[in-house]
């Protein structure tokens, strides 16, 4: 029988074995990471002769969602994709924030909130990039119902955001950070915190009902429209508002990135030929302030008509006028409803089906009814397009 002897490894063999074990472990960890996280994807639509390309990322499960502190590179990328917004007014300056999300052959495009730019005129929106470059912005389009707006500026090749694709990419307690123009005093402010709840919340801000996510990162005035990112630098939302610090501590809200980007694509896909502005198809504005006529009468009377309202105009046959008393209304193919009080107006419009193109026929008494002149007004519901 041959005697078995123990073999000792020499130094070179030990080194080789150690390296083999190290690379085997590295391969295993890499596989676990990439099997838990899907690759980034890009959605692309051809619009107005250029591609709308928005990069998104999807995670397989919560274990792949980053929860630690963002790296220096991640923070730098977020800063480079952010812009600060200034809108000079007659007696003050209005501030906001935004994120660069796409480009075409000539322009870079910025996401922000509609309420940030609603006070602006077409020629007084200015942007500051992280490298200090200042440039004038061009208004592209906005949706008042979701508080989303798009601006663009001349030049390309800037850092752009990558966004999460759905709320399945979120986990309560995960780390987030925000970038914005804090108080209009401190540009590119970085605030760190966490996602308070992964489920969406419906909140009402300045009378507007919005679908939001809640975060506890500190948010201040001037940061509206700014990006909120996960620890890997993917955009999870856009700052929209929060509770006053006198009432609560760090209860703040963001518009989910997946909703914001969907709205952005719709705006870019529908450009009005006359104004060159993006819009949401099917939206209309029936804005009207109705009061009560006289101490002894309850008849509804027109007290105010916003210019963006379908009812606004100078032609008495196709638009309502101030101080018209509303006597009756017929919406579409519905029946004629007599109007006795202003609450009748509200209830009828809430119950009848209205859409762009619907004809609304009023019988009104002009000028408080003083002149005893009645007329019929036929209004066609118009597509609403927000402009500045």
List all residues 6 or more positions away from 226 whose beta carbon is below 8 Å from its beta carbon: 82, 96, 97, 98, 99, 178, 179, 180, 181, 238, 239
Confidence tier at 386 by pLDDT (50, 70, 90): very high
CA angle 355, 360, 366 (to 5 degrees): 145
Interatomic CA distance for residues 269 and 263, integer angstroms: 10
Is the CB of residue 315 less than 8 Å from the CB of residue 270? no
Calculate mean pLDDT across residues 114-119: 96
Whether pLDDT at 26 is above 80: no
Whether pLDDT at 27 is above 60: no
> Tokens 């915190």 map to which residue?
193
- Digit-coded pLDDT (tens) for 284-343: 999 999 988 766 568 899 999 999 999 999 999 999 999 999 999 999 999 999 999 989
Calculate mean pLDDT across residues 124-139: 97
Pairing mode of beta strands 336-338, 325-331: antiparallel
- pLDDT of the residue at 40: 63
Is the CB of residue 309 less than 8 Å from the CB of residue 350? no
Interatomic CA distance for residues 199 and 355, integer angstroms: 32
- pLDDT of the residue at 144: 96
Q: Where is pLDDT greater, at 155 or 123?
A: 155
Calculate mean pLDDT across residues 57-69: 90
**Average pLDDT over the chain, rounded to an integer:** 88
Calculate mean pLDDT across residues 14-20: 42
Helices (H) and strands (E) in the chain, counts: 5, 22
- Digit-coded pLDDT (tens) for 234-271: 999 999 998 876 778 889 999 999 999 999 999 999 99
């Amino acid at each position: 029988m041959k005697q078995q002897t123990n073999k000792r490894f020499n130094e070179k063999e030990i080194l080789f074995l150690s390296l083999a074990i190290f690379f085997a472990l590295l391969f295993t960890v890499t596989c676990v990471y990439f099997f838990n996280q899907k690759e980034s994807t890009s959605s692309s639509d051809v619009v107005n002769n250029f591609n709308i390309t928005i990069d998104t990322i999807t995670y397989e499960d919560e274990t792949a969602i980053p929860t630690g502190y963002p790296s220096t590179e991640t923070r730098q990328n977020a800063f480079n994709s952010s812009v600060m917004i200034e809108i000079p007014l007659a007696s003050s300056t209005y501030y906001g924030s935004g994120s660069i999300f796409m480009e075409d052959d000539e322009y870079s495009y910025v996401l922000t909130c509609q309420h940030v730019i609603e006070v602006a005129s077409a020629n007084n929106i200015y942007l500051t990039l992280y490298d200090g470059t200042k440039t004038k912005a061009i208004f592209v389009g906005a949706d008042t119902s979701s508080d989303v707006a798009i601006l663009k500026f001349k030049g390309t090749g800037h850092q752009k955001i990558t966004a999460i694709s759905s709320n399945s990419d979120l986990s309560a307690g995960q780390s987030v950070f925000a970038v914005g123009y804090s108080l209009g005093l401190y540009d590119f402010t970085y605030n760190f915190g966490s996602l308070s709840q992964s489920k969406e919340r419906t909140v009402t801000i300045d009378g507007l009902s919005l679908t939001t996510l809640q975060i506890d990162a500190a948010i201040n005035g001037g940061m509206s429209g700014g990006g909120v990112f996960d620890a890997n630098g993917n955009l999870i939302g856009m700052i929209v508002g929060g509770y006053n610090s006198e009432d609560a501590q760090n209860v703040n809200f963001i518009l989910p990135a997946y909703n914001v980007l969907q709205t952005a694509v719709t705006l870019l896909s529908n450009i009005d030929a006359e104004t060159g502005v993006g819009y949401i198809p099917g939206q209309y504005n029936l804005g009207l302030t109705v009061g009560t006529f006289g101490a002894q009468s309850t008849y509804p009377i027109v007290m105010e008509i916003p210019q963006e309202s379908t009812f606004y105009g100078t032609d008495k046959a196709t638009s309502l006028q101030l101080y018209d008393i509303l006597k009756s209304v017929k919406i579409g193919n519905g029946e004629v409803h007599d109007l006795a009080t202003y609450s009748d107006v509200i209830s009828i419009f809430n119950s009848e089906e209205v859409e762009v193109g619907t004809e609304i026929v009023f019988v009104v008494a002009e000028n408080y009814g003083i002149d005893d002149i009645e007329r019929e007004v036929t209004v066609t519901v118009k597509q609403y397009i927000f402009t500045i």
